[in-house]
Amino acid sequence: MQAGLGSEFPSFVKLLAQSHVSSCFWIGLPTPFCKVHLPNEDAILILEDENGECTELEYVAEKTGLNAGWRKFAVGQKLLEGDVLLFHLVEPLKFKVYVVRQNELTDEDGAVSQLNMDENRKQIQAANERGTIKPLTIRKRKHPSEPTIIQKKNKKMLVSRSVWDLGQLTEQSGNDSEEVGSEILEGSKLSKTSVPFKYVNSFEDFHIVVNDVCIDSELTEDIRLKYYDLCCKKKAFLHGKFFPGLYPKLIAGIIGETVNIADAIKGCKHTTSWDEFAVWDKSLKSFELLGMEVGFVRDRLHKLRGLAFESQGASDFKNYLGAIPKRIHAEDEIRIAEAKLVELKAASEKNEADFIILRSKAEKHVSDFQEEVDAPW
């Protein structure tokens, strides 16, 4: 059905989750599509159904989603979880919306939808010939990013995605939004698309997207900032090659533990044990097997472990560590000997003083004796 619309006007497909048709009534739109084709400020959009009835909605530019008015449209169209919407931007602020219902889709329904689309396309072409429809233009963005490049390379058309992939994106994002119970959070999670790292110019442009689900909220800003620094060293997203289908919270945990291990490696000492290095390496190896690009972190770990335990320098360092106690023992013995010498010197000086006194007395005794001998009779 999307291919049948042609390429003159852009379109995208959205699979509805429970959160889109109940509770918060918020729906996020694909960020790349919005950045290229919709205003950079909040605006009023019009959704026209297959019967020509129009509904005005509030478009929240910052979160690239539809808020006020979406409830009315969803209830009016009797939308249910699992239904698929095909959005066709026929005017700058107007979408023609086709509904493919999950539980009622038959060949006849498909034929009717196709007829409606053909009739709508004829009307658009006729209006275009009369000059009543202004052509859609691509606005230049302040900062270059991958969606803009994709649009230019594909002649201003959004790269098509399968309904299955979009279903996975919406289902995962919808479930996440229900858990936190926040319309804004859901809007931010639904519409993130991964772009090559070379288009990330700053931390503000850095978003961790897994299977088209943004998991920034699963990590603290400090962890995200440190992970951003690691990605900058590699000039690539380290999580870009994870096996598809892994649980986003598992991937968030792996990213957090990778950052913690990297911090521990940067803070290790010569005295860090072999066991600690082994635990870090085992964890990083398991992350690598799942698709995390941490080879450069393991290389640094192996180099440090080799320097600490396996090289000639490590042997010299061990000998140095072994010599330290001997040196301390020798210094202690010297201090003990010096203290003993001081004690002996003090005793010697005391003995010398006593000796002088005794010698003086002895000399006087001898003198008195000799004087008595020499005395006259």
Helix or strand (DSSP H, E) at 306: helix 295-309
Which pLDDT band holds residue 80 (cuts at 50, 70, 90)?
confident
Task: Tell me: pLDDT of 247 over 50.
Answer: yes
Contact 98, 113 (CB under 8 A): yes
pLDDT mean across residues, the chain: 77
Final residue of a structural domain among 164, 183, 202: 183
The pLDDT, as a whole number, for residue 120 is 59
C-alpha 193/C-alpha 30 separation (Å) is: 8
Number of domains in the chain: 2
- Give the pLDDT band of residue 6 (cuts 50, 70, 90): confident
Q: Which two tokens stand for residue 234?
A: 């590699």
pLDDT score of 226 more than 90: yes
Q: For residue 337, is it within any domain?
A: no
| Model pLDDT, residue 161 | 34
Mark whether 156 and 23 lie in a shared domain. Answer: yes
Sign of the dihedral through C-alpha 80, 86, 87, 90: negative
Give the H/E segment covering residue 345. helix 312-374
* Residues 244 and 105 occupy one common structural domain: no
Q: Do 10 and 159 belong to one domain?
A: yes
Please state the rounded mean pLDDT for residues 233-255.
86
Judge if 202 and 167 occupy the same domain: no
42 and 123 together in one domain: yes
Q: Looking at residues 127-147, what average pLDDT do you find?
A: 45
How does residue 356 score in pLDDT terms, banded at 50, 70 and 90?
Answer: very high
Tell me what the mean pLDDT of segment 54-67 comes to. Answer: 89
pTM, two decimals, is 0.39
CB distance 8 to 127 below 8 Å: no
Spatial CB neighbours of 151, under 8 Å, sequence gap ≥ 6: 32, 36, 138, 157, 158
Q: Are 173 and 94 contained in the same domain?
A: yes
* Helix 248-266, helix 274-290: angle, nearest 10: 150
Residues 36 and 93 in one domain: yes
| The pairing of beta strand 94-100 with beta strand 43-48 | parallel
Same domain, 30 and 177: yes
The residue out of 269, 284, 310 marking a domain boundary is 310
Higher-pLDDT residue of 80 and 142 is 80
Q: How many CB atoms lie within 10 A of CB 188?
A: 22
Give yes or no: residues 71 and 210 share one domain: no
Q: Is residue 207 situated within a structural domain?
A: yes
Indicate whether 145 pLDDT > 80: no
Is 338 among the domain residues? no
Residue 46 to residues 43, 346, 371: CA-CA distances in angstroms?
A: 10, 106, 143
Whether 279 shows a pLDDT value over 90: the answer reads: yes
* Stretch among 162-166, 224-228, 257-261, 333-337 having the lowest mean pLDDT: 162-166
- The mean pLDDT value for 330-344 works out to 92
Q: In residues, how long is the chain?
A: 377
We report the CATH number of the domain holding residue 111 as 2.40.330.10
Average pLDDT over residues 112-130: 55
Burial 97-111 (b: 16+ CB within 10 A, else e): bbbbbeeeeeeeeee
Q: Per mean pLDDT, which of 4-18, 146-160, 163-177, 348-362 is the most reliable? A: 348-362
Note whether 124 and 212 are same-domain residues: no
Domain assignment present for residue 319? The answer is: no
For residue 159, what pLDDT is reported? 32
Residue 202 sits in the same domain as residue 224: yes
- CA 17, distance to chain mean position in Å, is 26
Which band of pLDDT confidence, cut at 50, 70 and 90, is reported for residue 15? Answer: confident
Residue 297 has pLDDT above 90, yes or no: yes
The whole-number pLDDT of residue 101 equals: 86
Least Cα distance to 10 among 166, 118, 151, 212 occurs for: 151
pLDDT value at 322 more than 90: no
Averaged pLDDT for residues 186-209: 71
Structural domain that includes position 264: 194-310
Domain membership flag for residue 364: no
**Residue 139's beta-bridge partner residues?**
none
* Lowest-confidence segment of 200-214, 248-262, 349-363 by average pLDDT: 200-214
3 state DSSP class of 166: helix
